[in-house]
Amino acid sequence: MEADARRIAHARLITGAWLKRLCGMVDERADLVLVVVSELCTNAVLHGRADAFQLRGWMRSDGQIRLEVQDWSPSVAPRPQNVDPMEEGGRGLFLVEAFVKEELGGTWGFAGDGAIAWCELPLNSSAGDHMLLQEPSR
């Protein structure tokens, strides 16, 4: 996709449809993943030096979802930063860390050259998630 902030909404739309319709991820969980996608795509647009970024996703046979955002801009892998409470931005990787690890039960990071951000997480990881997929008892 073109490295333009307007493309981030497009990336979310495509990813949301894939997660919910093709992978069967519950809406509440998919919504958290979409925040992660937004943050990783925003980093690619704001900090990448290429004129495009690529978003890839696949579901592995073990039920794990893997997402990658590539911006073709090798760099030192960024890390979550401590940001002044009055700053408007700079919290994206904190959100990624919190959502992927604490809420979604996955892992995330950057490829060795920093040009690819990735996350892996279970399609549905907790008993509550699985219960949402079951038919209500009558």
pLDDT by residue for the chain (138 residues), tens digit each? Answer: 999 999 999 999 999 999 999 999 999 999 999 999 999 999 999 999 999 999 999 999 999 999 999 999 888 777 766 766 666 666 788 889 999 999 999 999 999 898 999 999 999 865 334 333 344 444
Q: What is the pLDDT of residue 124?
A: 86
Distance CA 125, CA 56 (A): 21
Q: What is the pLDDT of residue 132?
A: 37
Helix %, strand %, coil % of the chain (to 5):
40, 20, 40
Which contiguous run of DSSP H or E holds residue 130? helix 127-133
